[in-house]
Chains A and B, each alone.
Chain A
């Protein structure tokens, strides 16, 4: 077996280490596009398990964890109980060059809005299947229950009531502003927008692309009535590793305890030919039917 490359770095998202971190022998998907470039000419066998660490795309476990968490947040449908990745504890990947790449992993999570003194690390296990650089990975994820279901609904309902009290039309341009400031009264909007974006970010994540929500660039519609919040907004997603900023128009409908409904349309990257006539963002209504 070829010698193992040096262990991954010490701290941070890789977690407290090496005793716990398992990188079992990996089948490698060759000819990876884009970023995780293998050195030229280093082709390996397609069908035998081999330790080809030098070609291991850095952060595949992280990719899987992120996708799983976006999916988890979306499915939980709770803006007051959003989770973020803390550390990957262990993981294993199997590659089928024809179909894709399956990752099994265990990771810890943190509260999205950390409260002072609160130290609740959650734990999730997930199976993520990436289809050959195509988006919308298939996800199976279970997480330890941290907040009791009733309490979570209570918090969501408080958020909901708070949001209903906001004066409409909302007098905001972007959240946060250029200086990173979010008015406390608008924070629930950010959380709800993040919940909607989680759906989008899950669907768009591939083995090599992942996303963060950079900014709500406009609020197109904010309607509250007795049984839903109807939120139509444009969000800017920051795409790694291309560094692109992708505007996405998202329309969500939410009520505490009910599954989140999301429709969205993201702008494609401009090519030189398209650039000249194209206006920023599609002001067109979302055409892609997602889970409505």
Chain B
């Protein structure tokens, strides 16, 4: 929550005082009909001893009322705050001065303050309905992200739409954003983030990039060219059940939340459940393992939804699956060391993308095939994509290299997203320029 502005050092109403003021005025307004506080001031007085305190206490209870204590006289050295009606200001100030009581003016005109508060609250309610107040440099809950998506799609409805491609094991919607400037069944780029729920930086990066796409269309030539010819599909919360679980119970949960009768452990590693090299050494058939592959390829609804969507679409030309952490950009295969046919091209493209990334903030990525760069992993997304005919299949491992790992500080969200975007744009541009 934002702190109240002007809550800096020196005299001035603290956020608590301001809030009390507003509450007070609302109560008063309802009780007495709208009251007007124009010209009323709040004075702060510091009594140095008991004698001075009693001088202040004498002001209390007078009829007609001369002051209204917000902080009553209690002890010397504790400030006394009192609201003085406009009509009484001259008298009260003389009274204080004649008794040697120093005072300062905390609020020069209460009504002005009240009006500002009312205005700010109305503004804030208006802002919530626009995506510009959503913080792109914070981590969010599933509800917040899904709400943001609705606002986002409404605000940029000329380019973005929302598609539901299925349901998760716990029956949450699986949602994809479609960025399109028209056409029908255009060549498309698929991006997914959050397939491993603990990798929070990936969802945050996806959200930032979504906003970047709509902001840059018409301004950035490369992106505009891409979107004028191709569509972009972005699935931000690829594992909604897991993600909800990282908020509620276990921040370091990786898998989905599926269970089967007789199984004591929960969850399948969604990045081992794809139908390419399924069941190899780079996955585990122990349900309690973090890399449990599941009972069969595509057994998991979260994976099946994507497979169905991409297969039915039939015109996806690039797939980028985003993970963290390790700072790597990689291409197939994960399940074997065998190089893919266009390995040389992918190597060069990865090299260019990593260079573009580096130029933003000086962050170094290594690149290569998954099995050679990271480790052997079987049944993974990009292997399936490649074997399904998607020539440009890449996987990112975002920041960092282990210092914070999954718990990457929110302050790194925007820098990470900025650099990742340039790498991604490099890949998308290459895809655009090399139709197949």
Query: Does A pair with B?
Result: yes
Question: Chain A residues in contact with chain B, CB under 8 A?
Answer: 6, 8-14, 34-39, 54, 58, 84, 112, 174, 176-181, 212, 214-215, 236, 238, 240-245, 269-272, 275-276
A36, B376: Cα distance in complex, Å: 6
Main secondary structure of the interface of A (DSSP, over half): loop
List chain B residues, Cβ under 8 A from A275.
264-265, 288
For B139, give the chain A residue with the smallest CB separation.
Answer: A179
Question: Is B366 in contact with chain A by the CB < 8 A criterion?
Answer: yes
Question: Is B281 in contact with chain A by the CB < 8 A criterion?
Answer: yes
Q: Is the CB–CB distance between A238 and B406 below 8 Å?
A: yes
List chain A residues, Cβ under 8 A from B338.
39
Question: Is B23 in contact with chain A by the CB < 8 A criterion?
Answer: no
For B284, give the chain A residue with the smallest CB separation.
Answer: A242
Pick out which of these stretches binds chain A: B154-162, B165-173, B367-375. B367-375
List chain B residues, Cβ under 8 A from A180.
404, 407-410, 412
A181, B264: Cα distance in complex, Å: 34
Q: Which of B260-286 contact A (CB under 8 A)?
A: 263-265, 269, 280-282, 284, 286
Return A244 CB to nearest CB of chain B, in Å.
Answer: 5
Main secondary structure of the interface of B (DSSP, over half): loop
A180, B201: Cα distance in complex, Å: 10
A276, B246: Cα distance in complex, Å: 22
Q: Is the CB–CB distance between A242 and B289 below 8 Å?
A: yes
Q: Is the CB–CB distance between B368 and A9 below 8 Å?
A: yes
A9, B401: Cα distance in complex, Å: 16
List chain B residues, Cβ under 8 A from A6.
347
Q: Is the CB–CB distance between B281 and A212 below 8 Å?
A: no
Question: Is B327 in contact with chain A by the CB < 8 A criterion?
Answer: yes
List chain B residues, Cβ under 8 A from A181.
409-410
List chain B residues, Cβ under 8 A from A174.
251
Please pick, from B247, B264, B408, the residue contacting A272 in the complex, using a CB distance under 8 A: B264
For B410, give the chain A residue with the smallest CB separation.
Answer: A179
**Total B residues in contact with A, Cβ cutoff 8 Å:** 54
For A178, give the chain B residue with the smallest CB separation.
Answer: B251
Please pick, from A12, A38, A39, A245, the residue contacting B365 in the complex, using a CB distance under 8 A: A12
Please pick, from A12, A242, A272, the residue contacting B265 in the complex, using a CB distance under 8 A: A272
Question: Is B287 in contact with chain A by the CB < 8 A criterion?
Answer: yes
A8, B251: Cα distance in complex, Å: 34
Please pick, from B265, B366, B402, B408, the residue contacting A11 in the complex, using a CB distance under 8 A: B366
Question: Is B382 in contact with chain A by the CB < 8 A criterion?
Answer: no
Return B9 CB to nearest CB of chain A, in Å.
Answer: 20
For B370, give the chain A residue with the smallest CB separation.
Answer: A58
Return A288 CB to nearest CB of chain B, in Å.
Answer: 23
The 24 listed contacts between A and B (C-beta, < 8 Å) are A8-B368, A9-B368, A9-B373, A12-B328, A13-B366, A14-B366, A34-B281, A35-B281, A36-B375, A58-B372, A58-B373, A176-B404, A176-B407, A179-B138, A179-B139, A180-B407, A238-B406, A241-B374, A242-B291, A243-B254, A269-B289, A271-B288, A272-B287, A276-B264
Question: Is B74 in contact with chain A by the CB < 8 A criterion?
Answer: no
List chain B residues, Cβ under 8 A from A214.
252, 405-407
For B269, give the chain A residue with the smallest CB separation.
Answer: A243
Q: Is the CB–CB distance between B401 and A270 below 8 Å?
A: no
